[in-house]
Amino acid sequence: MSGPGLPQGATLGYMPRAQAIARLAAHRAERDAYLIAIPPSLIAPAALSLGLIRECVFYLDSAGTGDLVTAHGPDAGTAVALTAALAGIPVVAVAVIPKTVAAVAVCAVLGEPDMDDDRDLRALLQDDESTVWPRFLLDALAGAGT
C-alpha cells in the first residue's frame, strides 16, 4: 500500500489476523525474534526509534478484529507513526526484530540500559508505568504455549 504523504521506503500491507497470530506464535516458539508490545501512547516515538532497525517489522491493530496493518522497510517507523496519527483512534502495535540484530542495538534504540537474548518478550511502559498487551499478541502467546 502506498499513497500521498507515505514514506517511499516503507511497505504497508494488510494481513489476516489469524496469519499474523500464527507468525508471532512461530517467532515465540522458535525464540528467533524480539517481540515488543507498543501501547497507543508510545506508537510514534517507539516506531521512529525501532524503525532505525531496518529488519524491524510492525504489526498494528486498532479495533481488535479483522486484518492487521503490517509495515516493514527502511522507512517503516515513519510510516507507522503517520498511520497511527491518521487513524484517529488508539492503535497498538507489536514490533518484531529478528535476533540476528544484537540485543545491545535494540537496547540502544529503546534507550534502555540492558537487554539480553533471553529477554525477547517486552512491553514498553506508558507514562503511568502500566503496560498494554495487544490482544493479537496474547493470542499468539497462548498459541505458542507461553
125 located within any domain: yes
139 located within any domain: yes
Q: Could you read off the pLDDT of 76-120 as tens digits, one per residue?
A: 998 899 888 888 888 999 999 999 998 888 888 888 777 666 778
User: N- to C-terminal Cα distance for the chain?
Assistant: 33
Q: Return the pLDDT at 2.
A: 47
Computed from CA positions of residues 62, 17, 10, 122, in that sequence, does the dihedral angle turn out positive or negative? positive
Q: Return the pLDDT at 26.
A: 96
In what helix (H) or strand (E) does residue 59 lie, and over which residues does it extend? strand 57-61
86 located within any domain: yes
Mean of all residue pLDDT scores within the chain: 87
Per DSSP, the three-state class of 77 is helix
88 located within any domain: yes
In which domain, by residue range, is 137 found? 11-144
Number of domains in the chain: 1
- Taking the whole predicted model, whether its pTM rises above 0.95 is answered as no
